[in-house]
């Protein structure tokens, strides 16, 4: 099935192969870990890599944001981006120019330098391969392994916002009978709200762990948090923000909004005694949040959650 590998396959086919053991690798690859933490002189280097696979429009901007989000979720400041573009020769150099200009403008607005990469035209692929590796520096050691029983999950943003913006931009024909033109424009505008860098910077002083729900949506993120921590979650699903527009689309198109790709949401695990202060600090910056759940001990407390991504099936509809 297309999409991210299921966790059991990921463990056997990817995560079992970790190369040489090094003492300077603080956090490596793992389920629910958005980025690696590497000890370097005078600090901790954060490294993350992600491709853009689902979007056609705004792919350059999206590439920057999804990689910057992973750095921010480790408490870091996104600083350097390495870009890999493998482009069908049918799209040509103009496509490369346009997407690099978009990447450049987005990086410039976020004080991120494009440090290098690789670019080529190919006759082997029908679709472009667009991937980035982001680097930054942090002083925090955030990890799912640090989550404790009683910790609270805060969420910002709203479920499915990225997936909905991709549908509105790339397949508006699927939703013209559901929304007015003005509503479709509103949904398209959500594509400008995919960064979690600001809330992550606010919450990093409070958090044990932060995560950016991408493929599989908020349900996928919660599943990964359970797997990474070894704890269960007492879920408060009614506290997870979801737009009325997303709910309307999910009813008509028959998909689960909590399994729709959701860059732009942030999940942060906060000790219970710090939750009120963290939420108040978010509000000072105009950012609302909800308490999505509490971690509980014991395997019998684990939620059964699907990691299935809804976007691919929606985009493939005739």
DSSP string, 226-285: HHHHS-EEEE-GGGS---HHHHHHHHHHT--GGGS--BTBEEEEE-GGGHHHHHHHHHHT
Q: Are 237 and 243 in contact (CB under 8 A)?
A: no
With a cut of 80, say whether residue 228 has pLDDT above it.
yes
What is the pLDDT at residue 54?
A: 59
Mean pLDDT value of segment 31-59:
84
Mean pLDDT value of segment 105-114:
97
Q: Are 264 and 190 in contact (CB under 8 A)?
A: yes
With a cut of 60, say whether residue 142 has pLDDT above it.
yes
* CA distances to 62, 190, 211 from 283, in Å: 26, 20, 20
With a cut of 80, say whether residue 101 has pLDDT above it.
yes
With a cut of 60, say whether residue 1 has pLDDT above it.
no
Token code pair at residue 293: 């759940």
With a cut of 60, say whether residue 107 has pLDDT above it.
yes
What is the pLDDT at residue 116?
A: 96
- Name the least confident of 80-84, 130-134, 145-149, 294-298: 294-298
Mean pLDDT value of segment 215-240:
92
Confidence (pTM): 0.89
Q: Are 69 and 263 in contact (CB under 8 A)?
A: yes
Question: Residue 317: which pLDDT band, with cuts at 50, 70 and 90?
Answer: confident
What is the pLDDT at residue 299?
A: 61
Question: Residue 9: which pLDDT band, with cuts at 50, 70 and 90?
Answer: confident
User: What element of type H or E holds 84?
Assistant: strand 77-88
What is the pLDDT at residue 132?
A: 96
Question: Residue 55: which pLDDT band, with cuts at 50, 70 and 90?
Answer: low
Look at strands 113-122 and 77-88 and give their pairing: parallel
Per-chain mean pLDDT for the chain: 91
Percent of the chain with pLDDT over 70: 96
With a cut of 70, say whether residue 204 has pLDDT above it.
yes
Give CA–CA dist 275/37, Å, rounded.
25
Question: Residue 56: which pLDDT band, with cuts at 50, 70 and 90?
Answer: low
What is the pLDDT at residue 307?
A: 85
Mean pLDDT value of segment 8-13:
76
Q: Are 257 and 213 in contact (CB under 8 A)?
A: no
Mean pLDDT value of segment 193-214:
95
């Amino acid at each position: 099935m297309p999409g991210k590998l299921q966790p059991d396959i990921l463990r056997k086919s990817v995560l079992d192969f970790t190369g040489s053991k090094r003492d300077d690798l603080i956090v490596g690859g793992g389920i629910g870990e958005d980025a690696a933490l590497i000890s370097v002189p005078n600090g901790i280097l954060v490294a993350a890599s992600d491709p853009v696979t689902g979007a056609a429009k705004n792919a350059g901007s999206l590439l920057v944001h999804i990689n910057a989000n992973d750095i921010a979720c480790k408490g870091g400041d996104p600083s350097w981006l390495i870009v890999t573009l493998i482009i069908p020769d049918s799209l040509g150099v103009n496509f490369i120019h346009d997407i690099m200009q978009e990447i450049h403008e987005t990086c410039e607005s976020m004080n991120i330098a494009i440090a290098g990469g690789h670019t080529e035209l190919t006759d082997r692929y029908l679709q472009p391969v667009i991937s980035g590796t982001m680097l930054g520096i942090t002083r925090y050691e955030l990890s799912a392994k640090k989550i404790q029983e009683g910790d609270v999950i805060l969420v910002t943003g709203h479920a499915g916002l990225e997936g909905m913006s991709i549908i509105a931009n790339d397949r508006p024909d699927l939703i013209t009978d559901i929304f007015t033109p003005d509503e479709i424009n509103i949904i398209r505008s959500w594509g400008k709200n995919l960064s979690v860098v600001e809330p992550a910077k606010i919450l990093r002083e409070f958090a044990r762990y932060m995560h950016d729900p991408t493929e599989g949506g908020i349900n996928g993120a919660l599943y990964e948090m359970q797997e990474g921590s070894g704890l269960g979650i007492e879920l408060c699903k009614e506290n997870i923000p979801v737009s009325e527009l997303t709910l309307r689309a999910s009813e008509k198109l028959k998909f689960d909004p909590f399994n729709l790709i959701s860059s732009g949401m942030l999940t942060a695990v906060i000790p219970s005694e710090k939750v009120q202060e963290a939420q108040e600090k978010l509000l000072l910056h105009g950012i609302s949040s909800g308490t999505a759940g509490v971690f509980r001990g014991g395997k019998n407390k684990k939620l059964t959650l699907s990691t299935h991504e809804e976007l691919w099936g929606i985009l493939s509809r005739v």
